[in-house]
Structure 1
Amino acid sequence: MEEIQKKASTGVEGLDDILSGGLQRGRLYLVEGSPGTGKTTIASQFLLAGAEAGERGLYITLSETEEELRESAASHGWKFEEPNAIFELVPPESLLDEDQQQSLLYSSDLELGETTKRIFEAIEKHKPIRVVIDSLSEIRLLAQSSLRYRRQVLSLKHYFSRTGATVVMLDDLTSDSHDKTVHSVAHGVIRLDELAPDYGAERRRLRVLKYRGQNFRGGYHDLIIKTGGVQVFPRLVSAEHRSKFKRETLKSNSTELNTLLGGGIERGSSTLILGPAGTGKSLLSLTFAVQAVERGEKAAVFIFDEEIGLLFQRAKGLGLDLEQLQKSGNLLVEQVDAAELAPGEFAHRVRVCVEQHKVRTVIVDSLNGYQAAMPEEKQLILHMHELLQFLNRQGATTFLTVAQHGLVGDMRSPVDVTYLADTVILLRYFEAVGRVRRAISVIKKRTSAHEDTIREYRIGQKGINLGEPLTNFQGVLRGVPEMVGIDKALMDLET
């Protein structure tokens, strides 16, 4: 009895999670979406998942030929073979012959009746446990009216309910996208959408519109079609992911930086590093990643803005051998193409690093590149909020970089996420004694007190070197400070 009540897996990675385990057996479901959104691929995976469990499946196609379906399956490395079967429903020869078409009687009556009869015959012959009907647009066109179409769908539903089969009907929305007849009849409705950004690859997403008597994960979920089928990335809900960990203070190798940070960075917190281009944001964040590996932990770096080979070369010149750490398996470095990546897929990659690879330090460099993967800034804030909350609750320490517009003077950020981060480190250029210099300060820290001074720092062959607090300057953060006395800290750093 338990085996009968067990839900039918869709065979689509991520979709069963959204549906709380899969499809309730013996019910009729609708998967709708415009052509190219992945309906046929999902339906094929549904039947293949059943075949793996020894369940007979039947693909009834009214819109594609059997040859086309088999070729499509072969492109993913699949084969439609026992216990699955394909039934290609083509019009009888009498309906294709113009001389034999009815003139007084409506030919659509004969076509619809013949279509239904042949569907029932195919079901009786194969006795499938899983059924796919592709597509309802053809049946809607044959019905010609909403009333006849609804009656036809209801007759199919009642017939399938007697057989106990789990049925997935596909609708490509080409005949009437406003017809919601099947929505009220179906036990569950899944909608697929395709978005075309101004630049980059198309984006696909999925939403469950209805699932009777069953909780499901609402909202939009990104999906991709790749060789091997459709993969869905369930929308991340941070409240569902909590783990116990010790909130210890993680110290860096720099005494001055630790003092500036009030002792260090707390585990399970997020740090935002702000500054214009060239101030060392990436280097500072990578320093924390390297030190995490030195503590015996794993770290992950997601790079949006720089080519990975160039990053390795540049970091090595500053005393950080990232390539060697990557080869050891303790540092995961992944280059991300924002134009080809959906935000849900990026969140999934981060989750895999934390949950499967046990990564405890995550670097995102930078949010400027991450923003390019977002339709609008508001969604970026929501995505980052959930992602940071998830990482914090998993005990992962996160470092984010944001490149500000401009070099000196008034700095502006393309996106304001300072209120999301637990710690905010500000890097600035300033001019003093005829030279362009760099300054670092901590402007926010939720977890503990921090030093409220401004320190100059240098980038050299051994990484970042901080000096003593600048006490005889004012206006450093504006970029053009005034010297109110001989600053000993400035003199010390010179030597």
Structure 2
Amino acid sequence: MAVDAEPKAAPLDTARFGIAGLDDVLGGGLARNRLYLLEGDPGTGKTTTALQFLLEGARRGERGPYISLSETTEELHETARSHGWSLPDAVTIYELIPPESLFDAAKEQTLLYASDLELGEATKAIFEQVDAVKPTRVVLDSLSEIRLLAGSSLRYRRQILALKHYFARRDTTMLLLDDLTAEALDKTVHSVAHAVIRLEGLAPNYGAERRRMRVVKYRGQRFRGGYHDFNIATGGVEVFPRLIALEHKTRFARDTLRSGIPELDALLGGGIQTGSSTLLLGPAGAGKSLLAVQYVVAAAARREKAAMFVFDEELGLLLERTKAMGFDLAGLRDQGLLAIEQVDAAELSPGEFAHRVRRQADEAQAKTVVIDSLNGYQAAMPDEDALILHIHELLQYLNRQGATTFLTVAQHGLVGDMKSPVDVTYLADTVVLLRYFEAFGHVRRAISVVKKRTGAHEDTIREYRITGTGLRVGEPLRSFQGVLRGVRTLVQGSDAKLLDG
């Protein structure tokens, strides 16, 4: 039964995969002495996942053979070596049909009786191997061969049922692999298996392939439903469970954070509250990243840790230009006060990105988190609706951890009517609007706060400048109208006061 809340803990005596994210999705692991199906197209990671399942068993002192009807022993050892694994004695690979026998004319069967004899021989060989080893876990790879040997759906179903009952009587947890290469979609094993786990591979129009998994069914056990991103890297499979913010709640004291610029703090009604999210909205080059950096530096001055996830700007360039303004981000990183990561949206799945952010908030205890920018994050998402759901859960999670989050969004256009690639203003607790405007033959910048849930704020518009020493914010622009439209109009009889160059 799928759930959208924290899964009920599985019984203590479970067969874990040793993949933290997958065991979490399954509610603790696999109930023992049952038959399970792990299915997916070729290349989705079934073999690697199955080997990790057996290796985890070996770590717990359990024997587990890998019975292969398709891959050779050398191929399986090569897969293990590619991840830096050396298969222990407890994990034995058993090739059911030696490759050389396929070319032995003396062993060829007649066309009429081939399937009957081969299926019976295969089943007998499997049972003999189990009786000899007396394993706790078994992997059978793959069902495609069994399906072909069976010849008919009835024989195939009876064969699977025979395997299920045989292993259940011997206190063995069996994992069947299926590469989905059959011409017709056969659901026979779905009805027989205690649980079904499906691995999928996605090929976006641009960028690296993406992989995701979901639990199709799990009898009598609560599990984390929906799709979960996963990755195959050196060292094995890593699963990133879908983030559910309601599962995570911590107690923390709410405080008002100041930026270090008195005029900016005054505009924000004293500052930004901890455990809230702030959206910095404006055209390209308006200073959104620099404004976020201001709060990172302020956090470091309080000896609090911060984290920055940079999508758009090259990291070296960001470090250089901010250092020229007196913000030594590299130095803060070396002191352990700042974790800064360059994120490649074409290579990173949304689930893995959320996992990285969560790790900074949980393990590194980062209290200020900057995502720069949402435009780059959107590039990693399949569609806008999914982006909003991901951002909603991520912001809610960070807020519940007492982290203050800053999101930047680059709007389309430079002056006049601005368009946002995605509207997330309703998700953020505070929305800061940055604009260009023309005055006396110069392009200038204006800042205003259009929303703040956590207290009062100024309803004024202030000019700000980017100088060699950072941001400089001026007094409210009371002598102009039309600043947010990009072309100001001088109010008659007023004295225009703008920041000096």
Could you say which residue in structure 1 is the equivalent of 2:358?
A: 351
1:304 to 303, 311, 315: 311
| CA gap 1:65/1:440 in 2 versus in 1, 3 angstroms | same
User: In the alignment, is residue 89 of structure 1 matched against residue 96 of structure 2?
Assistant: yes
Q: Counterpart of 2:141 in structure 1: which amino acid?
A: D
- Return the offset for 1:116: 0.3
Bigger shift: 208-217 or 83-92? Answer: 83-92
User: In the alignment, is residue 341 of structure 1 matched against residue 348 of structure 2?
Assistant: yes
Could you say which residue in structure 2 is the equivalent of 1:273?
A: 280
Structure 1 gaps of 5+ residues are: none
Could you say which residue in structure 2 is the equivalent of 1:195?
A: 202
User: In the alignment, is residue 167 of structure 1 matched against residue 162 of structure 2?
Assistant: no
Q: Counterpart of 1:432 in structure 2: which amino acid?
A: A
Q: How does 1:241-390 map to 2 (within 5 A)?
A: 241-390=248-397
Tell me, what secondary structure is at the counterpart of 2:303?
Answer: coil
- Cα offsets for 1:312-356 (capped at 9, x unmatched): 100011121101000000111011011000000000001100110
Tell me, what secondary structure is at the counterpart of 2:215?
Answer: strand
- Return the offset for 1:81: 2.4
Q: How does 1:219-238 map to 2 (within 5 A)?
A: 219-238=226-245
1:472 to 464, 474, 479: 479
| CA gap 1:447/1:490 in 2 versus in 1, 3 angstroms | same
RMSD value, Cα: 1.6
Could you say which residue in structure 2 is the equivalent of 1:431?
A: 438
- Cα offsets for 1:435-488 (capped at 9, x unmatched): 000000001111111100100001112211110111111111111121124765
Identity of aligned residues (%): 67
2:63 to 42, 56, 64: 56
Could you say which residue in structure 1 is the equivalent of 2:6?
A: none
- Return the offset for 1:185: 0.6
Tell me, what secondary structure is at the counterpart of 1:494?
Answer: coil
Q: How does 1:93-112 map to 2 (within 5 A)?
A: 96-98=103-105, 101-103=108-110, 105-112=112-119
Residues 243, 354 of structure 2: 8 Å contact kept: yes
In structure 2, how many angstroms separate the alpha carbons of the residues matched to 1:99 and 1:130? 35
In structure 1, how many angstroms separate the alpha carbons of the residues matched to 2:111 and 2:389? 61
Tell me, what secondary structure is at the counterpart of 2:269?
Answer: coil
Tell me, what secondary structure is at the counterpart of 2:460?
Answer: coil
- Return the offset for 1:410: 1.1
- Cα offsets for 1:294-327 (capped at 9, x unmatched): 1111000000011111111000111211010000
Residues 469, 489 of structure 1: 8 Å contact kept: no
In structure 2, how many angstroms separate the alpha carbons of the residues matched to 1:301 and 1:4? 39
| CA gap 1:447/1:5 in 2 versus in 1, 3 angstroms | closer
- Return the offset for 1:13: 2.8
Tell me, what secondary structure is at the counterpart of 2:263?
Answer: helix
| CA gap 1:472/1:74 in 2 versus in 1, 3 angstroms | same
Residues 95, 111 of structure 1: 8 Å contact kept: no
User: In the alignment, is residue 484 of structure 1 matched against residue 491 of structure 2?
Assistant: yes
Could you say which residue in structure 2 is the equivalent of 1:22?
A: 29
User: In the alignment, is residue 68 of structure 1 matched against residue 75 of structure 2?
Assistant: yes
In structure 2, how many angstroms separate the alpha carbons of the residues matched to 1:92 and 1:292? 64
Residues 425, 441 of structure 1: 8 Å contact kept: yes
In structure 2, how many angstroms separate the alpha carbons of the residues matched to 1:45 and 1:15? 11
In structure 2, how many angstroms separate the alpha carbons of the residues matched to 1:34 and 1:299? 41
Structure 2 gaps of 5+ residues are: 1-9
Q: Counterpart of 1:394 in structure 2: which amino acid?
A: Q
User: In the alignment, is residue 114 of structure 1 matched against residue 121 of structure 2?
Assistant: yes
- Cα offsets for 1:200-245 (capped at 9, x unmatched): 0000000001111110000000000000000000000000000011
Q: Counterpart of 1:349 in structure 2: which amino acid?
A: R
In structure 2, how many angstroms separate the alpha carbons of the residues matched to 1:361 and 1:175? 51
Tell me, what secondary structure is at the counterpart of 1:400?
Answer: strand
- Return the offset for 1:102: 3.9
Residues 38, 230 of structure 1: 8 Å contact kept: yes
| CA gap 1:151/1:483 in 2 versus in 1, 3 angstroms | same
- Return the offset for 1:82: 1.0
In structure 2, how many angstroms separate the alpha carbons of the residues matched to 1:254 and 1:92? 74
Residues 456, 490 of structure 1: 8 Å contact kept: no
- Return the offset for 1:394: 0.6
Residues 467, 489 of structure 1: 8 Å contact kept: no
Relative to the length of structure 1, the TM-score reads 0.97
Tell me, what secondary structure is at the counterpart of 1:57?
Answer: coil
Tell me, what secondary structure is at the counterpart of 2:92?
Answer: strand
Residues 13, 230 of structure 1: 8 Å contact kept: no
Residues 348, 380 of structure 2: 8 Å contact kept: yes
Could you say which residue in structure 2 is the equivalent of 1:494?
A: 500
Residues 137, 172 of structure 2: 8 Å contact kept: yes
User: In the alignment, is residue 204 of structure 1 matched against residue 201 of structure 2?
Assistant: no
Residues 61, 89 of structure 1: 8 Å contact kept: yes
Q: Counterpart of 2:389 in structure 1: which amino acid?
A: L
Tell me, what secondary structure is at the counterpart of 1:465?
Answer: strand
User: In the alignment, is residue 440 of structure 1 matched against residue 447 of structure 2?
Assistant: yes
Residues 64, 91 of structure 2: 8 Å contact kept: yes
In structure 1, how many angstroms separate the alpha carbons of the residues matched to 2:203 and 2:495? 58
Residues 479, 497 of structure 2: 8 Å contact kept: no
Residues 473, 485 of structure 1: 8 Å contact kept: no
Could you say which residue in structure 1 is the equivalent of 2:13?
A: 6
| CA gap 1:485/1:463 in 2 versus in 1, 3 angstroms | farther
In structure 2, how many angstroms separate the alpha carbons of the residues matched to 1:208 and 1:356? 28
Q: Counterpart of 1:424 in structure 2: which amino acid?
A: V
- Cα offsets for 1:351-401 (capped at 9, x unmatched): 100110111100000000000110111110000000000000111000000
- Return the offset for 1:417: 0.6
User: In the alignment, is residue 123 of structure 1 matched against residue 130 of structure 2?
Assistant: yes
Query: Number of aligned pairs?
Result: 492
In structure 2, how many angstroms separate the alpha carbons of the residues matched to 1:92 and 1:365? 55
Q: Counterpart of 2:35 in structure 1: which amino acid?
A: L
In structure 2, how many angstroms separate the alpha carbons of the residues matched to 1:104 and 1:371? 57
In structure 2, how many angstroms separate the alpha carbons of the residues matched to 1:277 and 1:295? 30
Residues 91, 111 of structure 1: 8 Å contact kept: no
Bigger shift: 25-34 or 247-256? Answer: 247-256
In structure 2, how many angstroms separate the alpha carbons of the residues matched to 1:319 and 1:488? 34
- Return the offset for 1:99: 6.1
In structure 2, how many angstroms separate the alpha carbons of the residues matched to 1:52 and 1:363? 40
Residues 490, 496 of structure 2: 8 Å contact kept: no
In structure 1, how many angstroms separate the alpha carbons of the residues matched to 2:163 and 2:394? 44
Tell me, what secondary structure is at the counterpart of 2:463?
Answer: strand
